[in-house]
Amino acid sequence: MIYLGINVSHGASACLMINGDIKFVYQEERFTKVKNFCGYPKISIDKIIEYLKEENLKIDIAAFSTIHNLPFGFMFPKNHFFTIEDQMNFYGEQFYSKFLKKKSVKSYIKKLKKDNRNKLDLYLPYHKIKEKYYFKNSKNFREVNRKFLLKQSKNLIKKIIFLDHHSCHASYAYYSLSRKVRESNKICTLTIDSEGDMLNQTVWAPSNDKKNISKLFESSQCDLARIYKMTTLILGMKPDEHEYKVMGMAPYSKSSYSDEVYNKVYKNLLDVKNGKVIHKNRPKNLYDYLKKNLMPYRFDNICGAVQKLVETISIKILSQLYKKYKFQHFSISGGVSMNIKMNKILSELKFVKKIYVSPTGSDESLSIGACYYLAKNNSRSFENIYLGQKLFKKNQDILKEIKKIFPRKKYIVQDKVKSKKIAKLLKKGAIIAIANGREEFGSRALGNRSIIANPSKPETIKIINEMIKNRDFWMPFALTILERKHKNFLINKKNISCEFMTIGFDTIKNKIDLIKAGTHPYDNTVRPQILSRNKNVEYYEIIDNFYKITGIPAVLNTSLNLHGFPISSKIDDVANTFKHSGLKYLFLINKILVIKK
């Protein structure tokens, strides 16, 4: 069976699954160059159609991963053109507070319609949608999507359906695990996000034969993501994007101060009953409440307090699920699963035997979830994440192409370079961009579109920031570490699998200096990619050679992109990033080294 999964939302994406195998996952942002592109993933679907035509194949079922989408947020995608001030106006007086009071927002809509910053092609004929349908009648919007897909795919699709948002998150979390893991454990699947199909929390149990999952309960009152998002905005950062910066700041706060913020502002908002999150004293206008009440507090203590809310509530959820259902294995997805600090705390709970966190659990993974929902047990688990576009076109003369892109006047192009040489350069302190094979799906670069460096040199952080990343001063870089050696550096007593940088770990005190630049500068925790050889042989070889000459089985790893842009994709994009950065070295397809003169 051939399935096409489509996510129309924040992080638009499309996934092709053939007979249970994920063939491609494309994120629209990689084509449009707008980070977290919001809306219909037209180019991603075009690419899949192109492949199907070449192979003379048809899609049995195309599935959209949400039923009740409303057009307003897609017609005026905030993350494409809103400034922080626009966002504050939106969540404040101009829209959110009026909307909650059921007051007219017509003048605000009129203003948005005239806003010529919203000029990106959004593909769908939004102008045809009547204003009365902007916030209701999702059926109307489903029809717009369905018709557009039919026209775009020209008889290639036999059937089009719409699936429930959280069922897709849950299917991704469950079926992406290996069959062995699923069959030998009673895994509880948990989804938590901002909102999808009117819900923000679901909990699922496996059937006796472990081939299916069924929903135990759901909640529409689990406002963790919403509270985190609004706090991010109140701190002057981009909602739906910069939550990781709040999480990164949280360890700097002292609990004696952040506890006060937590107790006064966050503690009484939510409660948990039998694993289900419910409102406690949650005010109707959450943004207004947070804005007023957070006013007297310092930014770092606010970060610490909101993180404490997420950790406290999620600990309660798991503890109660253990008490009531005896679950000791948990698989988590949805936007909140991106919180690696929460995942760390949960993995350390005494009764928890294992937690599994699927890569990029926010909405961009819903297209994969839709395919898993359809294929269920007839699917293969998530073997690796290199599911996007290839660096080069088929049959391209690669060396010739590289020499054309990097002229001799400005660049030295060396062929047949071995990973040993790259390891030696790293040892000396070189910062090297690497691009190889297919791009990673999701928000984390895992060795195919990465910048790597020697993690024992903390001065590297400043250099990388000046060369390309421009990251906030408090934010850590990540680490890739060889699986066979990781326990010499990280504390992982429960053997938690972390191939995709989804969980935080403590580090071993007397080893920290060797990996310092890849850890959190304040609490020395790490968000690792624990790498086995079979997952990425070429990348593994570089690190293994680096280990042989330094005794450090790890490299600092950060994504290859210019500040504010999505991760680089094909060779022209990679070259553009390299040329516009201060980076000196680019290692391509594991054998060609480009050096700036």
- Choice between 199 and 294, CB closer to Fe ion: 199
Q: How much of the chain is in helix, strand and coil states, percent to nearest 5?
A: 45, 20, 40
Min separation Cβ 508 and Fe ion, Å: 36
How many residues of this chain interact with Fe ion, rule: CB under 5 A? 3
Min separation Cβ 488 and Fe ion, Å: 37
CB neighbours of 470 closer than 8 A, spacing ≥ 6? Answer: 563
196 binding Fe ion? (CB under 5 A)? yes
- Choice between 247 and 453, CB closer to Fe ion: 247
Residue type, 115: D
Subset of residues 152 to 191 that bind Fe ion, contact rule: CB under 5 A: none
Q: What are the CA-CA distances from residue 463 to residues 432, 457, 576 (Å)?
A: 12, 11, 20
- The owner of tokens 């001063």 is 473
* Angle made by CA atoms 110, 116, 118, in degrees to the nearest 5: 90
Stretch that binds Fe ion, among 26-34, 195-203, 442-450, 571-579 (CB under 5 A): 195-203
Q: Between 386 and 415, how does the x/- string for binding to Fe ion read (CB under 5 A)?
A: ------------------------------
The first and second tokens of residue 133, run together, are 């349908």
- Choice between 28 and 363, CB closer to Fe ion: 363
- Choice between 5 and 196, CB closer to Fe ion: 196
- The owner of tokens 């922080």 is 84
How many other CB atoms sit within 10 Å of the CB of residue 331? 29
Stretch that binds Fe ion, among 80-88, 193-201, 209-217, 497-505 (CB under 5 A): 193-201
CA distance 452 to 586: 10
Helix 419-428 vs helix 537-550: crossing angle, to nearest 10? 50
Min separation Cβ 400 and Fe ion, Å: 44
* Angle made by CA atoms 201, 388, 171, in degrees to the nearest 5: 25
- DSSP, collapsed to helix, strand or coil, labels residue 434 as strand
Min separation Cβ 373 and Fe ion, Å: 14
Min separation Cβ 365 and Fe ion, Å: 9
- The residue sitting closest to Fe ion, measured at its beta carbon, is 193
Q: What are the CA-CA distances from residue 272 to residues 224, 275, 283 (Å)?
A: 12, 6, 17
Min separation Cβ 182 and Fe ion, Å: 22
Min separation Cβ 318 and Fe ion, Å: 20
- Choice between 164 and 573, CB closer to Fe ion: 164
- Choice between 172 and 322, CB closer to Fe ion: 172
Subset of residues 203 to 232 that bind Fe ion, contact rule: CB under 5 A: none
Subset of residues 329 to 368 that bind Fe ion, contact rule: CB under 5 A: 363
CA distance 552 to 491: 16
CA distance 530 to 526: 11
Min separation Cβ 8 and Fe ion, Å: 12
Min separation Cβ 165 and Fe ion, Å: 6
In whole angstroms, what separates CA 199 from the centre of its chain?
Answer: 20
- Choice between 196 and 504, CB closer to Fe ion: 196
What is the side-by-side strand order in the sheet with 554-559?
411-414, 592-596, 585-588, 432-435, 449-453, 554-559, 478-482, 528-531
- The owner of tokens 């819903």 is 366
CA distance 203 to 190: 5
Min separation Cβ 238 and Fe ion, Å: 18
How many other CB atoms sit within 10 Å of the CB of residue 534? 10
**333: closest CA among 370, 305, 303, 279?**
370
Min separation Cβ 177 and Fe ion, Å: 19
Min separation Cβ 362 and Fe ion, Å: 7
- Choice between 10 and 35, CB closer to Fe ion: 10
Min separation Cβ 47 and Fe ion, Å: 24
- The owner of tokens 């690190």 is 543
Stretch that binds Fe ion, among 31-39, 192-200, 237-245, 429-437 (CB under 5 A): 192-200
- Choice between 193 and 483, CB closer to Fe ion: 193
CA atoms within 13 A on the CB side of 198: 5
Min separation Cβ 94 and Fe ion, Å: 26
* Whole-number CA gyration radius for the chain: 24
CB 82 within 8 A of CB 90: yes
- Choice between 14 and 478, CB closer to Fe ion: 14
Burial class (CB in 10 A: 0-12, 13-18, 19+), 416: exposed
- Choice between 8 and 352, CB closer to Fe ion: 8
CA distance 468 to 579: 10
- Choice between 66 and 577, CB closer to Fe ion: 66
199 phi and psi angles, rounded to 5 deg:
-120, 160
- Choice between 371 and 468, CB closer to Fe ion: 371
- Choice between 363 and 440, CB closer to Fe ion: 363
Q: What are the CA-CA distances from residue 546 to residues 405, 463, 539, 555 (Å)?
A: 29, 20, 11, 8
**Interaction site with Fe ion (CB under 5 A):** 193, 196, 363
